[in-house]
Structure 1
Amino acid sequence: MPDLQQWRALCGRYTVAKAYMEDSLAKITVFAPVDDVFTYNPDYRALDQKETLSHVVDTQVVEISQGKKWDKTTLVRSTINSGYIYVTQFENNPGNFSYFANAGMLCNHFSNQWGIISGDQYLYKICTPIGHRPYPGTALSFIRDDDNVIFEERQYNNRDLSELRDILNRVPDIALVIFGSSAWNGFHTFFLPTNNAFAKVIDRNRIDREVLLAHVTGMNRVLFTWPWMYDGGMHYYPSIWFSSNIIEDNFKLRLVMRNITDRRTGKYDLYAVSEVYERYSHFLRGSVWAKILVPNIPVQNGVVHIIDTVLGIVSETIDMQLMANPKTTTLMRYINTIGQIVRNYFSASGGLVTFFAPWNEAFERIPEQIERRLLRDRIWLEQILKLHIVPAKELTSDEITNETIINTVDNMRQLYFIRGEWPINNITYYVIGGGIKTAIMMENVACTNGIIHYIERVLGVPYQSLWEILRNETKLQRSYEMLNNLQLRYALDPWQVLTPEQNFTFFVPTNEAWDKVSPALRSRMNDGHHWLALQYVYKRHILQGQALMYTDLRERTYVMMNDEKVVIRRRGRYFELFWPRGNRVARVIEGGEIAGINGYMHMIDNVLIYEPDLRAYGCRAQPNGLILLITLLFLLLKPGIGWPINIFHFALIQR
């Protein structure tokens, strides 16, 4: 097979592996990595014989080729080198399944024949690394093993698990029944904190039985990193209860894996996240994110992932979390610039708050001239930082809907939210504040005095011109296509910004607003002969020389860019535009404010347009034609004038 040449060469180097591959009578199942796995993971070519034999199962795994749903999500099979391999099935849609062998995804690669059967042997291709070599023992023996010789040929060890070993020695029932359970009692996923993880815990007395159980998934829930992240990482698995020799699922504390990608390098970090939505015992609401240091170590009773933070337990304030996070160094520099004005909210005595914390990348996206102004204007900087703080509330993602609106510390501007779902099962939450929309990258990070949501942009700080916003906003593509043919676009995308005459307030119609306009009027406006009329209509929606936020709107009459008067009035909780001459009304969509470096845009649900707009600029050509006709008649009838020359001269002047 052309896509298994690297696997063939690897097996050819070892006697036992080669013998199994050549023995036609051996009843085995082989999970063979395709050549791409070796290309993108060069260290895979250096697998020793025992690691190579971890890809070979000593029985026939016929369930994969049957194409039907299994009774159990995960099958457990023994490998040639006395380890275990876990085969997981996911149902993408009815009758369509995906399969994983440990962390390796089974694929068809070049052909549809992704399960090759030869007599009593099965060969399945995998297109992601299968994971580390299995450890020949349980999770408990992995933690307690003090024989360093056994880890000499492996890519992992247990030298940083001495603290966990001491804690498990003080709770022998959990150590033996859960961490040391045999395969007959069930399989689990174990998250093992290192010594540095325990060093982060301020009050060590809070680490008890329940905290240890928060690091173990329920029975027969074994998932490696790749299958867990397969459909967006939304496999929430309950942790485990253990009391009176009864093992059951604990749905109050759920476990999930997430990945955060570094935009500059393209590499991503894997995190184990414990989610608590209701306070119970000494667990607080929110999430604890722990970076996975060593993933995918198969053991005899499940799989082990070594992490750098103790899950479940929260002992740091918001201020301590931000200071310790290397991704918020720029944010702390801005906070320290204005002193204790904002920082008091993050201390233990500041009360409960929800803080939307921008990453370093968020500040790097701000244009240089805007950033200079932000550092120089402390009043504006204070307003911007207060826009990210929600007082007296622990706002977690389970409370966020598309209708959620909350007040911030400054009591002027509000935050709006969008619960996006793309692709299916991959839910992304967005927050809109000060005209800036940003995604929440790490949500529900729990602190002793509130919740932190890490975001990828700074709320209230523009970074694009109004024209760039139009080009990138999905809801405004109809307006963008029309403005693309108008000279007005150059005013919306100036080369120099932050000057008063280049500030605009643009009430831009959405795609749905243009659908309300009659098709005949819309088509004539875009037929190529009425661009000046269309520009006149858009100028009716633009206020020049003023950049008005949503909170700056007042009930008054404004003179728009085309010198017409438009009234802004309040109707209930909403503002609306009223154009008296055309008797048209357009409501300002709440949460539709977008900030640009040269003004603000507000989405509206209707267009201030009517039929006579087609003659707004077209009528100017009629007087010129009439004057030309009268002049020609005058020159023809007046005697003694060289009328051909004068007519030609007059035509040049008119042109």
Structure 2
Amino acid sequence: MFASRRGALAALLLLCCCSFGPHAAVAELADKLRDDSELSQVSQSNKENKITVAFYSLLEQNPVANSTLTLRSCTIFVPTNEAFQRYKGNAQVLYHMTTAAFSQSQLKTSVPSDMEGNPPLYITNGRNGDIYVNNARIIPSLSVELTNREGKRQVMHIIDEVLEPLTAKSSTTEMNNMDAMQFMRVADQLNLGNRTLRTYRTQVAIAKKESLFESPGFHTFLVPIDEGFKHSTRSSLVDAKVIDGHVIPNTVIFTAASEHDEPKTSAAFEDQIKVTVSFFRQKDGKMYVKSNTFLGDAKHKEGVVLAEIVKANIPIKNGVVHLIHRPLMIIDTTVTQFLQDNGENGALRKFYEVIMDAGGGVLQGINDLSEVTILAPSNEAWNISSIDNIVRDRKKMTDILNMHIIRDRLNVEKIRQKNANLIAQVPTVNNRTFLYFNVRGEGTDTVVTVEGGGVNATVLQADVAQTNGFVHIIDRVLGVPHTTVLGKLQTDPMMSDTYRMGQFSHFNDQLNNTLRRYTYFVPRDKGWQKTELDYPSAHKKLFMRDFYYHSKNLLERHLVIADHAYTMKELVQMSLTDTVTLQTFRDSLKVKIEEEAGRYVMLWNYKKINVYRPDVECTNGIIHVIDAPLLEEKDIVVSGGSYLPESSICIMLANLIMITVAKFLN
């Protein structure tokens, strides 16, 4: 985008390096602006017949700006033409200028603009070392520094967004450099769209917290709009601590520069209550803020509350204001109400649409639960082609939706407790379907994953608290497979041993074939660990490359290849009359599947083996995770040696000794 400008500005930089001496050729910033088509060209939209005026054109028309460029030192922040084309308002030229010269390294915290009242421009360091002026990023390679004809040092920084000051609806409204409290008092007269702040302003006055919003320094204020108080009792819950939880002291956060999901300490952070605030952006571009009350009290419940930012980055005298669609910290809606509130145009719009398209019975089922946890796929999670056909099948979709519902209040801490020393297994509303949680890391580094129906999802937003449970936003739809049998083996931590054994024997090579349908009985790692205890020598050789033939033969018994992949429910029906014979890679597998207390049991070769995870769906088959391998003693023969359990060997030795002693005594 900037290739042509880079060449021109490279020559400009070389020229500017020669222009600092008193007798050097003089270059003017105005000339550079005029000559750079990326900064001065007027464009016209064919569709709307709309003319977009570039920054240079506005600069030419402003006598104060022209005088500054001619006579004074200055810094000027120049938006690109592209930034102007995106901008819908009336750009204020003097808000882009300051009457002192600042290189990138000299920009510190804030600088006063040349606009009337000198409202500050805030300087922040964002991700990847970028420098931001309010919400606009300085394009680092395009800054220019020179001296004008009056010998005054001047600096131009190119930015990717138009700087927008706080403005009034009417030119008769007196605008001074106002703090956050003054901002709220005159909000009705400001250009905030149709958003009003009367309810929150009233609660601030009742709680006598005006001084918090008047405090000097640089802070971030999160202000809920009146629409967020449509629940009749919500405003009464806004007390002094809740108000404190909406302020991030001594830190100015603009959305483009914010570190996503990086908790910031709010003013409600003390011995009795601890609340952090963080920002995050969804892939659709919408920006959200969330409070996390991780130490609460009788009035302030622990948990996360989400709020969409409906108008961001409003600069004021003592920081920045973001208007949010509802108050933080307040947990006063049920899970059902949360889904409805976020269903129209919010973070869970697609999830709510699918629930309603399935007939609404799922929503009623959620509403009937006194305690509930929802694994809610994000809007982006639904953008995969494999879901399209399933959505049209109402029964199938209902089963999948019910797989996302748990009859329990399950936050991350409770999952962590269940997860001690093993992967947590949790039943869902969908009969005989379980979810498998795994928690890694601590604090801000915590990562929670959940597996259901063959899909492994990561929790994007955890512990969104409601009065009757929790909502966790996840990045995939559970129960809709998106990977092959091989892909599932590669990524699932419970099947790593089977995957490893199949790799060195090249048994896995076939499992990516999407033209076949596999039913794979996969021993989980814990089952192989038990085998290691019972048959240590044999287990060792089964996982050695030199003995790959034996491990390959063993795995072949576990893999059923047919025109159809068999679910556990189908295998139970097939087993009602007799043992089922299934065609495997090598020969056949004779099994009988029974259901006991809501769990499946596999009867094979006079052994009873629990099915730990049934029906892990893949794009080319189904995996059933079982508690032990389908292993016979004759399988454990390597180079003519029989590897029996150590206990059997001890018994044989004892018998041999007894026979020898008896012969000796006779």
Contact persistence 1:54–1:80 (CA under 8 A): yes
Q: 1:392-437 CA deviation, whole Å, 9 max, x = no partner?
A: 324147965796514224584432335689xx98876432122212
Matches of 2:283 and 2:504, distance apart in 1: 33
Matches within 5 A, 1:252-651: 252-262=274-284, 268-324=285-341, 325-326=343-344, 327=349, 328-333=351-356, 336=359, 338=361, 343-347=364-368, 350-358=369-377, 365=384, 366-367=386-387, 370-371=390-391, 373=393, 375-376=394-395, 381-382=398-399, 384-396=400-412, 405-409=424-428, 412-418=432-438, 429-462=448-481, 466=485, 490=513, 492-493=514-515, 502=517, 504-505=519-520, 507=522, 539-544=556-561, 547=566, 560-563=584-587, 594-601=616-623
Tell me how far 1:297 sits from its aligned partner: 0.8
Structure 1 residues 534 and 195, CA, compared in 2 at 3 Å: closer, same or farther? Answer: same
Matches of 1:250 and 1:505, distance apart in 2: 53
Match of 1:217 among 229, 248, 263: 248
Structure 2 partner of 1:190:
221
Structure 1 partner of 2:105:
65
Residue 129 of structure 1 pairs with residue 161 of structure 2: yes
Match of 1:162 among 185, 198, 214: 198
Structure 1 partner of 2:262:
235
Contact persistence 2:127–2:257 (CA under 8 A): no
Residue 99 of structure 1 pairs with residue 131 of structure 2: yes
Q: 1:157-211 CA deviation, whole Å, 9 max, x = no partner?
A: 585123233333434x312x11223x3xx32111111111111454432222222
Q: 1:50-73 CA deviation, whole Å, 9 max, x = no partner?
A: x222222334546x5279xxxxxx
Structure 1 residues 466 and 215, CA, compared in 2 at 3 Å: closer, same or farther? Answer: same
Contact persistence 2:428–2:434 (CA under 8 A): no
Matched to 2:320, the amino acid is V
Structure 2: stretches of 5+ with no match in the other structure: 10-32, 40-54, 168-176, 526-538, 594-599, 640-666
Matches of 1:420 and 1:122, distance apart in 2: 52
Structure 1 partner of 2:122:
86
Tell me how far 1:237 sits from its aligned partner: 1.4
Q: 1:461-504 CA deviation, whole Å, 9 max, x = no partner?
A: 435664786899998799799989977755x435xxxxxxx452
Matches of 1:418 and 1:146, distance apart in 2: 47
Contact persistence 1:102–1:130 (CA under 8 A): no
Structure 2 partner of 1:205:
236
Contact persistence 2:485–2:512 (CA under 8 A): no
Matches of 2:389 and 2:123, distance apart in 1: 55
Matches of 1:21 and 1:537, distance apart in 2: 82
Matched to 1:288, the amino acid is V
Structure 1 partner of 2:15:
none
Contact persistence 1:488–1:535 (CA under 8 A): no
Q: 1:546-594 CA deviation, whole Å, 9 max, x = no partner?
A: 535699999999863211669999xxxxx9x9x99xxxxxx99988984
Structure 2 partner of 1:142:
183
Matches of 2:492 and 2:83, distance apart in 1: 36
Contact persistence 2:454–2:488 (CA under 8 A): no
Structure 2 partner of 1:178:
212
Matches of 2:274 and 2:255, distance apart in 1: 23
**Bigger shift: residues 287-296 or 457-466:** 457-466
Matched to 2:338, the amino acid is Q
Residue 12 of structure 1 pairs with residue 60 of structure 2: yes
Structure 1 residues 337 and 18, CA, compared in 2 at 3 Å: closer, same or farther? Answer: same
Matches of 2:131 and 2:464, distance apart in 1: 32
Structure 1 residues 489 and 363, CA, compared in 2 at 3 Å: closer, same or farther? Answer: closer
Structure 1 residues 550 and 480, CA, compared in 2 at 3 Å: closer, same or farther? Answer: farther
Tell me how far 1:103 sits from its aligned partner: 1.4
Contact persistence 1:420–1:427 (CA under 8 A): yes
Matches of 2:127 and 2:475, distance apart in 1: 33
Residue 54 of structure 1 aligns to a residue whose secondary structure is: helix
Structure 1 partner of 2:16:
none
Tell me how far 1:116 sits from its aligned partner: 4.0
Matched to 1:99, the amino acid is I
Tell me how far 1:344 sits from its aligned partner: 4.6
Q: 1:123-146 CA deviation, whole Å, 9 max, x = no partner?
A: 363543264214621111111117
Residue 209 of structure 2 aligns to a residue whose secondary structure is: helix
Matches of 1:292 and 1:78, distance apart in 2: 26
Contact persistence 1:355–1:390 (CA under 8 A): yes
Matched to 2:309, the amino acid is I
Matches within 5 A, 1:32-51: 32-33=78-79, 35=80, 38-39=81-82, 42-44=85-87, 47-48=90-91, 51=92
Matches of 2:454 and 2:484, distance apart in 1: 12
Structure 2 partner of 1:653:
none
Structure 1 residues 367 and 413, CA, compared in 2 at 3 Å: closer, same or farther? Answer: closer
Contact persistence 2:454–2:478 (CA under 8 A): yes
Q: 1:263-313 CA deviation, whole Å, 9 max, x = no partner?
A: xxxxx1001211122332422232221111111111001101111111111
Structure 1 residues 537 and 334, CA, compared in 2 at 3 Å: closer, same or farther? Answer: farther
How much is the aligned-residue C-alpha RMSD, in angstroms?
5.2
Structure 1 residues 390 and 277, CA, compared in 2 at 3 Å: closer, same or farther? Answer: farther
Matches of 1:216 and 1:197, distance apart in 2: 17
Matched to 2:267, the amino acid is I
Q: 1:15-42 CA deviation, whole Å, 9 max, x = no partner?
A: 222332343x42x333333x3xx32551
Residue 76 of structure 1 pairs with residue 104 of structure 2: no
Normalised by the size of structure 1, how large is the TM-score? 0.65
Matched to 2:331, the amino acid is V
Matches of 1:189 and 1:197, distance apart in 2: 19
Structure 1 residues 376 and 469, CA, compared in 2 at 3 Å: closer, same or farther? Answer: same
Matches of 2:141 and 2:624, distance apart in 1: 48
Contact persistence 2:504–2:545 (CA under 8 A): no
Work out the number of aligned pairs and report it.
527
Structure 1 residues 207 and 538, CA, compared in 2 at 3 Å: closer, same or farther? Answer: same
Contact persistence 1:516–1:606 (CA under 8 A): no
Residue 29 of structure 1 aligns to a residue whose secondary structure is: strand
Residue 261 of structure 1 aligns to a residue whose secondary structure is: coil
Q: 1:439-479 CA deviation, whole Å, 9 max, x = no partner?
A: 33443222111111233433234356647868999987997
Matched to 2:209, the amino acid is I
Structure 1 residues 356 and 9, CA, compared in 2 at 3 Å: closer, same or farther? Answer: same
Structure 2 partner of 1:572:
none
Matches of 1:387 and 1:597, distance apart in 2: 18
Residue 31 of structure 1 pairs with residue 62 of structure 2: no
What fraction of aligned residue pairs are identical, expressed as a percent?
23
Matched to 1:505, the amino acid is Y
Matches of 1:170 and 1:397, distance apart in 2: 36
Contact persistence 1:131–1:297 (CA under 8 A): no
Matches of 2:86 and 2:127, distance apart in 1: 32
Structure 1 residues 280 and 488, CA, compared in 2 at 3 Å: closer, same or farther? Answer: closer
Contact persistence 1:104–1:126 (CA under 8 A): no
Matches of 2:203 and 2:610, distance apart in 1: 60
